[in-house]
Amino acid sequence: MTPLVELQDISVRFEIGAGGLFGRARRTLAAAERVCLAVGEGETLALVGESGSGKSTLGNVVAGLQAPSAGSLRFRGRLLDAATWREARRAIQIVFQDPFGALDPRMPVSEIIVEPLRIQGSFSAAERAARAAALVEQVGLPKDALNRYPHEFSGGQRQRIAIARALSPRPALIVADEPLSALDVSIQSQVLNLMKELQERNGLAYLFISHDLAVVHHLVDRVAVLYLGRLVEVATREALFAHPQHPYTRALLDSVPRIGRRRPRGRTIGGEMPSPLAPPPGCVFHPRCPKAQARCRAEVPALDETGPGQRAACHFPG
């Protein structure tokens, strides 16, 4: 794998409650804690975890929308700073869950799609118009879509518009933050297939954020599992689905209904994810872990290799 984007020890902390109405003390919320992760050229990496685990925060860091509190990012080997972000910003685009909120209702599709090019400033109006026309076709929208406005389209079509917009500056990576979650189930597979097709055609990499492992199963090369802002497992799709090493990954898989699976379903973990304001000591998963032992409460497990293409942060993997 040739790394495209590399995250090294990325932490994102939000200071909350500072000088608020009730004079609460400042508290630090760790939305991401020392995350090391790379997305390869042309790769699809899924970022999964339950709501509040820090997926969007990390996706925003990768897309340059959220500055990390600590750690560094590299793009094609170069450390990203204010100057190098200029190129990376074009090469990394993002598609959000809500395809309506993300589109300016007063702009026709022809302008929405090439807005990133207009901001860049290095394309003529004719070049932008030609690019918009080509993109509308690539994402499977009718030609006359160009002169229409977002509200005239269905949810699935709007997500196609958002995808066309992300594609317009010819990115190397698209961060897709739960791009299917707001769509009808019948539409989800169409948009998923479109994303696959566009990837082959454009040599794109995806950071595909999802709370649902079933959705990512057919699309991804590798999976990164987040829990309370920490990576708990990173593995190739094959390894992760065949032999998950972290108890949390196992629990996530057990909660996914899948055809042809022998393992009994519904063996989900009890309890809820603790607040990121007060993460448990040691392994943050220990209060919910069926395998927890004394060592787990005292010692933070490192994300160590457990087999080829597989790393897990657990003292007792497997």
Residues within the interface to ligand ADP (CB under 6 A):
14, 16, 29, 31, 49, 51-57, 276
**From the list ligand ADP, Mg ion, ligand SF4, none, which binds 53 (C-beta under 5 to 8 Å, kind-based)?**
ligand ADP
One residue of 44, 56, 168, 306 binding Mg ion per CB under 5 A: 56
* Angle at CA of residue 208, ends 10 and 92, nearest 5°: 65
Cβ closer to ligand ADP: 53 or 188? 53
Cβ closer to Mg ion: 113 or 191? 191
**From the list ligand ADP, ligand SF4, Mg ion, none, which binds 247 (C-beta under 5 to 8 Å, kind-based)?**
ligand SF4
**From the list Mg ion, ligand ADP, ligand SF4, none, which binds 301 (C-beta under 5 to 8 Å, kind-based)?**
ligand SF4
Residue 308 Cβ vs ligand SF4, minimum distance, rounded to whole Å:
20
**From the list ligand ADP, Mg ion, ligand SF4, none, which binds 116 (C-beta under 5 to 8 Å, kind-based)?**
none
223: Cβ contacts below 8 Å, ≥ 6 apart: 45, 46, 48, 213, 216, 233, 234, 235, 236, 237, 240
Cβ closer to ligand ADP: 97 or 110? 97
Question: Is residue 249 near Mg ion by the rule CB under 5 A?
Answer: no
Residue 315 Cβ vs ligand ADP, minimum distance, rounded to whole Å:
25
Distances (CA, A) of 220 to 269, 273, 310: 25, 26, 15
Neighbours of 143 (CB within 10 A): 9
**From the list ligand ADP, ligand SF4, Mg ion, none, which binds 316 (C-beta under 5 to 8 Å, kind-based)?**
ligand SF4
Cβ closer to ligand SF4: 139 or 313? 313
Strand partners, 311: 234, 305
Relative orientation angle of helices 155-167 and 185-202, to the nearest 10 degrees: 20
Q: Which of 56, 39, 313 is nearest to 176 (CA)?
A: 56
**From the list Mg ion, ligand ADP, ligand SF4, none, which binds 133 (C-beta under 5 to 8 Å, kind-based)?**
none
Conformational region of residue 59, where left means phi above 0, alpha means psi within -120 to 50, and beta covers everything else: alpha
Residue 90 Cβ vs Mg ion, minimum distance, rounded to whole Å:
24
Q: Which of 45, 36, 305 is nearest to 174 (CA)?
A: 45
Cβ closer to ligand SF4: 87 or 305? 305
Stretch that binds Mg ion, among 56-64, 71-79, 266-274, 287-295 (CB under 5 A): 56-64
Cβ closer to ligand ADP: 29 or 133? 29
Q: Which of 175, 29, 197 is nearest to 93 (CA)?
A: 175
Cβ closer to ligand SF4: 145 or 314? 314
Cβ closer to ligand ADP: 55 or 237? 55
Separation of alpha carbons 218 and 3, rounded Å: 22
Q: Which of the 8 DSSP states describes residue 176?
A: E
The tokens describing 204, both together, are 């794109």
Residue 175 Cβ vs Mg ion, minimum distance, rounded to whole Å:
11
Neighbours of 207 (CB within 10 A): 26
Separation of alpha carbons 229 and 261, rounded Å: 29
Residue ranges that bind ligand SF4, judged by CB under 6 A: 246-247, 283, 285-286, 289, 291-292, 296, 301, 314-316
Binding site for Mg ion (CB under 5 A): 55-56
